[in-house]
Amino acid sequence: MRRRGNTRAQRRLLRGLVGWLLGSRRRMLGALLLATVGGSGWYAHEVYVARPQMAWMGVPQETRRDLSHLTAHVLRNPGFMLSYSEWKGSPLWVTYKLFRPEKPHPVGKRPPFRPDWRTLRHVTSDDYTGSGYDRGHMAPNYAIALLYGRRAQEATFLMSNIAPQCHRLNSKWWQRLESAAIDHFTRHFREIWVVTGPVWDEKPRYLKRAWIDIPDAFYKIFVGIDIAGRPHALAFMVPQTVRGFEPLSKYLTTIDAIEARTGLDFFWRLPDAQEARLEREAATGAFHLRAVDRLPSRY
């Protein structure tokens, strides 16, 4: 009888174990299904809702099949969005919107530079130390802080928003253009969409202490939307070798020329005829460029 009792107990234990395993399997499958559906929902929201809201007429597209483009991934921040190239160690493009704020945010003390945990290569501020290059902001510290607040300002100091710039470019010519944009260009438009980033040639050069490719030039594209909703384009491409005091107009270019140098496709959601017209335009009159062409630098 003891043996029979043991057998019954063993059967009950076996049935319980099988039931638990089947239940666990169902729970695991349910969790996996939930994670899959949730992940798909997040991705769909990210690609079709969140990102398009932070770019004008389409999120810029990488068209080259090289490692600089294939390793790029989009990162959203408060006030701006970028595509970071793990191969280059810098963003390929950064986009943000400028406007005249009714209630500007106070611009506080400059935050420290920080690595971006979302990148595979954790570039640090120390990687630039002793390199001879500045930590050049792509999304500007001052304008982003003024329009979007402290958290957005702190995000501009993430190293994913930084590229190597010669000091004269960073502190003079580039700073002059950024000041002209927020203080002057915004007076003439309802809003201005900006896309900016580095330009590299075919022969890479790297910082002394890190695998960070040094750009040969930088571009900045402005699309101003007037009160009637019409877009006007103004684009610049400036080499690292500037002295800093040159007229801003010296480095005027077209969006077409920037696309040819970078392999990026901007504003692809526009109708073809309108895109072609905008991308060969240099609307210096609409932006009143002459008024700030020789604007002195702050430093």
| CA neighbor of 236 nearest in space, from 149, 291, 174, 182 | 174
What phi and psi values does residue 31 have, to the nearest 5 degrees?
Answer: -65, -40
Do 164 and 122 meet the contact criterion of CB atoms below 8 Å apart?
no
- Report DSSP letters for 158-198, one per residue: BGGGEEEE-HHIIIIIHHHHHHHHHHTGGGGSSEEEEEEEE
Cα separation of 209 and 81, whole Å? 27
| CA neighbor of 58 nearest in space, from 214, 295, 259, 287 | 259
Do 75 and 118 meet the contact criterion of CB atoms below 8 Å apart?
yes
Q: Is 288 a catalytic residue?
A: no
Cα separation of 59 and 30, whole Å? 35
Amino acid at 205: R
- Length of the chain as a residue count: 299
Q: Is 170 annotated as contributing to ligand binding?
A: yes
What the block records as the tokens of 90 is: 């810098």
Amino acid at 216: D
Catalytic residue among 122, 137, 167, 288: 137
Tell me the torsion sign for CA atoms 86, 118, 72, 54.
negative
What the block records as the tokens of 197 is: 């980033």
Residues with catalytic function:
137
Binding residues for Mg(2+): 170
Binding residues: 170
